[in-house]
Each structure stands twice: as structure tokens, then as C-alpha cells.
């Protein structure tokens, strides 16, 4: 493999495309975490008393919790006092329209390929742009309002729709759920809020674009999506961050609620800075709790994720299938190249009758990357005729990476039907030679083989983003053959 | 076209070819026969540039250019094709996509415009007929779930599409029933012309009855011990290889 090794070595120097920083005047609070910091965040957002209390309660619970250590991830202890919990671009006045958004910010999003001017955007995608701790702008708001769809930043929703927030916040992921969810509940800064009213099919894709810019800052966003009876929504999030030598913490919480006959499709293309490819220095620590409840009959929640970035990924988008006949799906591609580590998977909790879940997980390990699939399928006593199909495939590129699979199954109702398939393969020299012999270069062959491997998952992404994901895969894999 | 001189080569430190010399002129079809382990496939792999095969001495030139100095993909792009003894499965990669990528790599190499999807479909439908393959194979993944015979026909389909100047057919007859064998041989025969050359590696005379090679060479212990015409193939079929061993 000498020649292939050379190709790798030259390509490995490929730089992370979104690693630039935006030079903008920012307001950042000093590092450290205590009740005063939480009060400060809450007051900056002009939050009602109940929300501050909710945060403080979460904080006090967090203090009593221990950082989880059951994952396969290897990293030094995080110093939670060294992180700043709030950073925002300085605003002169309250923004009334996009014309007032700092040109520096608009430029940043242009560079990221997400123009925020509506006329330049993909016609069918509404975007909420979150920059460090705050939402910069949300596009197509008026168009959406015509259909009764609420799509705005979380902070805005706290003021404009306090009843909905109060009703659902923490209803899927309670503050005590886990260490990082508790932390998020205490210090979350912004995020997106979506409400789709009864019977409405959301007329466009909704999308949030998360950008971490400030140094030594954590990003803690909170997303809440409610699909009322018979409604339908497809939502996509994208993430990037500058290249920095220090690790940065990202701990988000996403809660989805699907009512009767409603459907939520949630897609993620995660491309946080993965750290230096040669030394492993820097990169985002991505600790995320995502969970959806299929609350009533015939509801459906579908997670699709393409995880190519971050130094560490700890993420298990899950479904609680409470309503009878409800459906949960999880489609995942996780790539660990160079020094990246991913421990990701899903939990499907079957409570209702005739509930059905599908898990398709594709793990790709290259360089010295370590990729772990961790999944739990639980069929509870009352879940008559529940069905699960799980498939987890791993592909290894080179000899220094690793793939691990931990599928947990807990069945408490004998009528359950469970299927599990798993495979591990290596991109073989014979496959590469076969492609070479047909005139296809090693680089092209690897991306062809990997894209073929991921196809089932890419097919689940909204059209506009499937191509993006494929391209991203190629960039992330450049030089991965070994 | 292809000139091999006193080629010594091996794999993983094991010497297998012990001085092979062979000249293939444009338009010729040469057959190389021999037992398992005689070095037939090693020869094919050295010509196409597979990793881990090491040439210790001798030379291989193609149209006067040193082939051994080129990467496997450059050899392929300049017109050297191998029909694999064991075609490789590539799960998830669509057969049509793969073949179009290969053809476009070649067109690009020649400084020509890449073929668009519609034109490619027209082209490939024509070629499918030549090897009696159903269109349904196009939508399947490369060699995935193909029977032995289907894989070999798929190799010939690729050859017909890429139109190489030199085709190495490595045991293309193995795993084929008599009908499939005829189809494959016809596919090759119709593709022959005064400019294209072939090296067919085989155990058996059967394939050669259909392909009618210009020259037959017998390989024993990494050396060509005898060359001749079709009568040599018939002798081998009758007497086996032992009479040629010293």
C-alpha cells in the first residue's frame, strides 16, 4: 500500500474548510459557573422568574451528579470553571430586520454557504442562524406565519409563547436526565423553537445553523419542536466551528414531541471542527442529548444524522414510542478520522402497542479514529406486537482505527419481534485495486465505496442536503486510505 | 503492443516468475495455459500493477513505454484492461455509476468530454445485448449477489464499454457453464480487430475452441516452456502437462 499511503499523507494535510474566525465585537462573560452566572444569563435574556428557577434547580441537581464515564471516549477531565457560558455579538439596538444584522455576520454565513438574505437562499428552506450563544436571525418567518407555523429562536419563544414553552420544556428530557442535559438546562443560551399547528404540513424545510465563534466558550443550545395533531415537519441542523487549539464544549438538548398522526423528521449534518488532523489538538467536545416522544397514536419521529466533525461525539438521539402504532427511526452515518472519537447510537423505548422502530447505523473509522455504536432497544410490558429492526455496519479504512458495537436489547413482552444485523468490513486492497484497474483513482475509489456504504442513510436526508452530505464525506475522508 | 522481456517477479518475497519473454502484436490473441501455481495470474497481476507484486528483473513495455513505472490506474487509463479471475464486490456502489465513473476517467484522461447520463444509458444498453445481460444488473451494486457467470459477463461488459487496446482475460472461463462460455467468447470475438490485443489465461482448451488464439504458450514453474498454435492446446487436453516437464 505504499502508493496509497503517499496519497493519504499528501491529502491528510487538507484543511478544515470552515475553520476561519469572525472578527466581531463580542460580549463574553468571564469563565466560570455559579448561581450568579446563571442569573446573569437569565437576566440578559430578560427571562421570567419561573425559567430562572428552573435553571437554578437544574444547576443544583447538576452539582450533585457525576460526569458519565461509561462511553468508549478517552479525554482529559473537562474543567467546567474554565469555560465561558455566554458569548454574543454586540448589538447596538434591537434588530428589526436583516438589514440591521452586522455585515460581518452576514459575511460569515455567506462564507459558510448559508446566505441569510431570503432572495439568495434555497427557496424552500427557512433558516435560524445561531452564532455562539444567540440567534442572529430567522428567515422566512412571515411566510411561515401565514400557515400558523412558529419558527423562532428559543429566547424569543420564551416571551412570545410562554405557555407552550412552559408546558413542554423538559417534558422529554428532564433536567435530571443526565449530567450534560442538567448542565444545558442550567446554562442554555439559545436555540430554535418550532410549533406546527394541527393538520399543517410545514410548507418548507426548517433549518438551524449553529456556529461557534468565540474562544473558550461553550455552546449550549436548546431546541424544542412540537408537532400538533396530524402535522408534519422536516427540520435540519448544521454545525461548524473555527479551528482552535483548545477543546470547546458543545452540550445541546433537543426535545421533540409528536402528537396524534404527526410526523417529525429531524436531520443533522454535524461538522464541528474535528481537531488538528496530525496532532489531535483542539476540536469540539460534542455531548448532546436528543430525544423525541411519540406521544399519541400513529405518530412518527425519524432521526437522521451525518456526524463527520467534532473531536468527541457523545450522542444518542432516541425515541419514546408511547402512542400505539407509533414509529421511531434512526439513520446514522458517523465518521471518525485522524484522532476523532465517536460514541453514538440510539435508544428506542417501546411503550405502546404495535410500535415499530428501525435503526440503521453506519460507522466509518479511518486514521486513528475510534467509532462506537451504542444502541438500546427496550420493549416494555405493555408494548404488544412491538417490532424492531436494527442494522449496524462498520467499515474500517487502514490499520490503526477501531470500530466497536454495543447493542443492548431488553424485551419484556413475548410478542416482540426483534431483528438485528451487523457487519464489519475493511475497504480492501482488492476493492481499491479493482477500481484502479478500471482507471479510477484511489481517492475517488474510497469516496465511491464509502458513499455506497452510506447510501441508505443519505437517502433519508432532504434532497438539498444529501448532496452536501456526500461532498462533506469526501472532504472529511480525504487522504484516509492507509 | 506488449513486450515482456526476461521477467522475474514474485509476491510477498516468493519468487514465482522465472524469466518470461513474450511479445504480443496488435490484433493478436495469445493464450497462456498452465496448472494452478504455474504463475499465470502472477503474470496478469504484474502487468496490471497490483500491490505487493515485486519485479526483480526484466522489463514490460507497452507501446514502447515502461509499464512497470506506471501506477495501476495510469496503466488502465492508457488502455490495459484485466478481466478479473475473481471480480470484486463493491456493496452499495451502483453498477451503472461505477462503469460510468470508469468510462469518464478514461475520457478525461484522453482530454475528451465526459459522457452524460442519457448518452451513457444508450451506450450501455447496446453493450448489454452483446453479453446477453439483463438491464436489471445495471441497478444492482457492483458484482453484489452476482453468480459466478454473471460476474464474468459483467467483466466482459466493462471491457466492451471501456474499449481497451490490451485485454488480459484472467481465467474468464472458470465458473461458466457452456452457454455462458459461448456468450463470453462471442463477446470477445466480436470485439477483436486488427488493433486490439488479448492475453487469455486459462486452464482449459474449451475457451480456446471458441476464441481461436493466434499463439498458445505453456507456463510451468514461472517459465514459458513451449509455444505453438491450437494443436498444442489439443495435445495438452489429451496428455496433460507432465510431458512438458523436464
Condensed to tens digits (0 to 9), the pLDDT of residues A147-197 reads 999 998 898 899 999 999 999 999 999 999 999 999 999 999 888 899 999
- Nearest residue of A to residue B70 by CA position? A3
pLDDT, tens digit, 9 for 90 and up, residues A193-223: 999 999 999 988 888 877 766 666 778 889 9
Average pLDDT for A224-250: 84
Measured CA angle at B12 (ends B11, B15), to 5 deg: 50
Instruction: Report the relative pairing of strands A150-153 and A26-28 from DSSP bridges.
Output: unpaired
Q: What does residue A213 show for φ and ψ, rounded to 5 degrees?
A: -120, -50
Cβ proximity of A250 and A451 under 8 Å: no
Instruction: Test A444 with B101 for CB contact under 8 angstroms.
Output: yes
pLDDT band at A89 (very low <50, low <70, confident <90, very high): low
Which of the residues A439, A449, A454, A481 would you substitute to probe the B interface, choosing the one with the greatest number of B C-beta atoms within 10 Å? Answer: A439
Provide the CB-side half-sphere exposure for A21 (13 A, CA): 11
A470 lies within 8 A of chain B by CB: no
**What ipTM is given for this predicted complex?**
0.96
Among A1, A440, A441, the residue with its CB nearest the CB of B51 is A1
pLDDT band at A6 (very low <50, low <70, confident <90, very high): very low
Q: Which residue has the higher pLDDT, A479 or B84?
A: B84
Among B49, B76, B91, the residue with its CB nearest the CB of A439 is B76
Beta-sheet strand order (sheet of A125-131): A134-138, A125-131, A205-211, A232-240, A263-270, A300-307, A327-336, A356-366, A387-397, A417-426
Instruction: Test A441 with B72 for CB contact under 8 angstroms.
Output: no
pLDDT, tens digit, 9 for 90 and up, residues A301-330: 999 988 888 888 999 999 999 999 999 999
A360 lies within 8 A of chain B by CB: no
**Among candidates A5, A453, A54, which has minimal Cα distance to A222?**
A54
Among A430, A438, A455, the residue with its CB nearest the CB of B158 is A438
Instruction: Report the relative pairing of strands B215-220 and B197-202 from DSSP bridges.
Output: unpaired
pLDDT band at A433 (very low <50, low <70, confident <90, very high): very high
Percent of chain A with pLDDT over 70: 81
- Nearest residue of A to residue B77 by CA position? A439
Instruction: Test B101 with A440 for CB contact under 8 angstroms.
Output: yes
- Tally of domains within chain B: 1
C-alpha cell at A254: 433537543
A chain contacts of residue B81, beta-carbon cutoff 8 Å: 437
Q: What does residue B130 show for φ and ψ, rounded to 5 degrees?
A: -65, -30
Helix (H) or strand (E) holding B234: helix B230-239
pLDDT band at A100 (very low <50, low <70, confident <90, very high): low
CA distances from A463 to A110, A234, A272, A479 (A): 21, 12, 22, 27
Residues in chain B: 246
Q: Which residue has the higher pLDDT, A20 or A481?
A: A20
Which of the residues A3, A427, A438, A482 would you substitute to probe the B interface, choosing the one with the greatest number of B C-beta atoms within 10 Å? Answer: A438
Average pLDDT for A25-41: 85
Percent of chain B with pLDDT over 90: 74
Q: Give the Cα separation of B120 and B104 in Å (integer).
A: 10
B chain contacts of residue A442, beta-carbon cutoff 8 Å: 73
pLDDT value at A5 more than 70: no
pLDDT value at A39 more than 80: yes
Q: Mapping DSSP to helix (H, G, I), strand (E, B) and coil, where does residue B203 land?
A: coil
Instruction: Test A438 with B141 for CB contact under 8 angstroms.
Output: no
B chain contacts of residue A429, beta-carbon cutoff 8 Å: 51
Q: Give the Cα separation of B13 and A482 in Å (integer).
A: 21
Q: Which residues pair with B54 in a beta bridge?
A: B10
Write the CATH number for B91: 3.40.50.300
Least Cα separation, residue A426 to chain B (angstroms): 11
Burial A349-366 (b: 16+ CB within 10 A, else e): bbbbbbbbbbbbbbbbbb
Q: Which domain holds residue B65?
A: 2-244
Among B71, B82, B90, the residue with its CB nearest the CB of A449 is B90
pLDDT, tens digit, 9 for 90 and up, residues A248-289: 888 999 999 999 999 999 998 888 788 887 888 888 889 999
Q: Give the Cα separation of A12 and B123 in Å (integer).
A: 38
Question: pTM for this structure?
Answer: 0.80
A458 lies within 8 A of chain B by CB: no
The pLDDT assigned to A10 comes to: 41
Least Cα separation, residue B49 to chain A (angstroms): 8
Instruction: Test A442 with B73 for CB contact under 8 angstroms.
Output: yes
Q: Which residue has the higher pLDDT, A145 or A280?
A: A145
Instruction: Test A433 with B50 for CB contact under 8 angstroms.
Output: yes
**A49-64 and A179-187 are packed helices; what angle lies between their axes, rounded to 10 degrees?**
150
The pLDDT assigned to A309 comes to: 84
Amino acid at each position: 500500500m505504499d502508493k496509497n499511503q503517499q496519497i493519504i499523507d499528501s491529502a491528510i494535510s487538507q484543511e478544515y474548510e470552515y475553520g476561519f474566525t469572525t472578527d466581531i465585537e463580542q460580549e463574553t462573560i468571564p469563565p466560570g459557573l455559579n448561581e450568579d452566572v446563571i442569573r446573569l444569563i437569565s437576566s440578559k435574556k430578560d427571562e421570567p422568574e419561573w425559567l430562572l428557577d428552573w435553571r437554578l434547580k437544574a444547576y443544583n441537581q447538576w452539582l450533585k451528579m457525576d460526569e458519565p464515564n461509561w462511553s468508549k471516549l478517552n479525554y482529559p477531565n473537562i474543567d467546567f470553571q474554565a469555560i465561558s457560558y455566554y458569548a454574543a455579538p454586540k448589538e447596538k439596538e434591537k434588530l428589526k430586520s436583516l438589514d440591521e444584522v452586522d455585515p460581518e455576520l452576514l459575511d460569515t454565513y455567506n462564507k459558510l454557504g448559508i446566505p441569510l438574505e431570503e432572495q439568495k437562499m434555497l427557496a424552500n428552506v427557512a433558516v435560524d442562524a445561531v452564532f455562539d450563544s444567540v440567534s442572529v436571525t430567522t428567515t422566512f418567518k412571515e411566510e411561515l406565519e401565514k400557515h400558523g407555523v412558529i419558527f423562532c429562536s428559543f429566547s424569543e419563544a420564551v416571551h412570545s409563547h410562554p405557555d407552550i414553552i412552559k408546558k413542554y420544556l423538559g417534558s422529554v428530557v428532564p433536567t435530571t436526565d443526565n449530567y450534560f442535559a442538567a448542565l444545558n438546562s442550567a446554562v442554555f443560551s439559545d436555540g430554535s423553537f418550532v410549533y406546527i399547528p394541527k393538520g399543517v404540513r410545514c410548507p418548507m424545510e426548517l433549518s438551524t445553523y449553529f456556529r461557534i465563534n468565540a474562544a473558550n466558550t461553550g455552546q449550549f443550545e436548546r431546541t424544542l419542536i412540537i408537532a400538533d395533531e396530524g402535522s408534519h415537519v422536516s427540520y435540519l441542523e448544521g454545525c461548524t466551528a473555527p479551528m482552535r487549539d483548545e477543546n470547546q464544549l458543545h452540550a445541546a438538548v433537543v426535545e421533540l414531541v409528536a402528537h396524534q398522526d404527526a410526523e417529525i423528521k429531524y436531520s443533522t449534518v454535524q461538522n464541528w471542527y474535528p481537531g488538528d488532523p496530525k496532532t489531535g489538538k483542539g476540536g469540539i467536545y460534542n455531548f448532546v442529548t436528543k430525544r423525541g416522544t411519540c406521544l399519541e397514536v400513529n405518530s412518527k419521529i425519524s432521526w437522521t444524522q451525518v456526524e463527520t466533525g467534532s473531536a468527541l461525539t457523545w450522542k444518542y438521539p432516541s425515541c419514546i414510542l408511547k402512542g400505539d402504532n407509533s414509529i421511531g427511526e434512526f439513520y446514522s452515518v458517523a465518521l471518525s478520522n485522524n484522532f476523532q472519537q465517536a460514541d453514538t447510537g440510539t435508544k428506542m423505548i417501546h411503550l405502546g402497542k404495535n410500535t415499530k422502530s428501525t435503526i440503521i447505523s453506519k460507522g466509518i473509522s479511518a486514521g486513528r479514529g475510534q467509532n462506537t455504536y451504542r444502541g438500546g432497544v427496550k420493549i416494555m410490558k405493555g408494548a404488544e406486537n412491538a417490532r424492531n429492526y436494527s442494522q449496524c455496519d462498520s467499515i474500517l479504512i487502514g490499520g490503526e482505527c477501531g470500530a466497536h458495537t454495543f447493542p443492548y436489547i431488553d424485551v419484556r413482552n413475548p410478542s416482540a419481534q426483534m431483528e438485528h444485523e451487523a457487519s464489519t468490513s475493511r475497504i480492501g486492497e482488492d476493492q481499491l485495486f479493482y477500481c484502479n484497474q478500471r482507471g479510477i483513482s484511489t481517492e475517488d475509489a474510497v469516496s465511491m465505496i464509502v458513499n455506497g456504504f452510506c447510501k441508505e442513510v443519505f437517502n433519508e436526508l432532504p434532497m438539498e442536503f444529501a448532496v452536501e452530505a456526500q461532498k462533506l464525506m469526501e472532504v472529511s475522508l480525504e487522504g484516509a486510505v492507509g | 503492443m506488449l513486450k515482456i522481456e526476461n521477467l522475474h517477479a514474485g509476491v510477498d518475497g516468493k519468487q514465482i516468475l522465472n524469466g518470461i519473454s513474450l511479445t504480443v502484436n496488435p490484433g493478436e490473441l495469445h493464450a497462456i495455459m498452465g496448472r494452478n501455481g504455474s504463475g499465470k495470474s502472477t503474470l496478469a497481476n504484474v502487468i496490471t500493477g497490483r500491490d505487493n507484486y515485486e519485479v526483480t528483473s526484466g522489463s514490460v513495455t507497452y507501446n514502447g513505454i515502461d509499464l512497470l513505472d506506471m501506477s495501476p490506474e495510469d496503466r488502465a487509463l492508457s488502455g490495459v484492461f484485466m478481466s478479473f479471475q475473481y471480480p470484486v464486490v463493491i456493496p452499495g456502489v451502483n453498477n451503472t455509476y461505477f462503469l460510468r465513473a470508469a468510462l469518464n476517467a478514461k475520457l478525461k484522461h484522453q482530454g475528451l468530454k465526459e459522457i452524460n447520463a442519457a448518452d451513457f444509458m444508450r451506450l450501455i444498453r447496446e453493450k448489454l445485448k452483446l453479453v446477453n445481460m439483463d438491464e436489471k444488473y445495471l441497478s444492482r451494486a457492483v458484482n453484489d449477489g452476482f453468480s459466478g457467470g454473471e460476474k464474468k459477463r459483467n467483466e466482459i461488459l466493462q471491457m466492451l464499454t471501456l474499449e481497451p487496446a490490451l485485454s488480459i482475460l484472467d481465467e474468464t472461463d472458470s465458473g461458466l457453464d457452456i452457454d455462458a462460455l459461448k456468450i463470453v467468447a462471442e463477446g470477445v470475438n466480436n470485439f477483436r480487430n486488427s488493433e486490439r490485443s488479448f492475453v487469455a489465461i486459462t486452464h482449459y482448451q474449451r475457451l480456446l475452441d471458441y476464441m481461436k488464439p493466434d499463439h498458445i504458450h505453456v507456463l510451468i514453474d514461472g517459465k514459458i516452456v513451449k509455444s505453438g498454435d491450437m494443436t498444442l492446446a489439443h495435445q495438452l487436453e489429451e496428455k496433460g502437462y507432465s510431458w512438458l516437464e523436464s
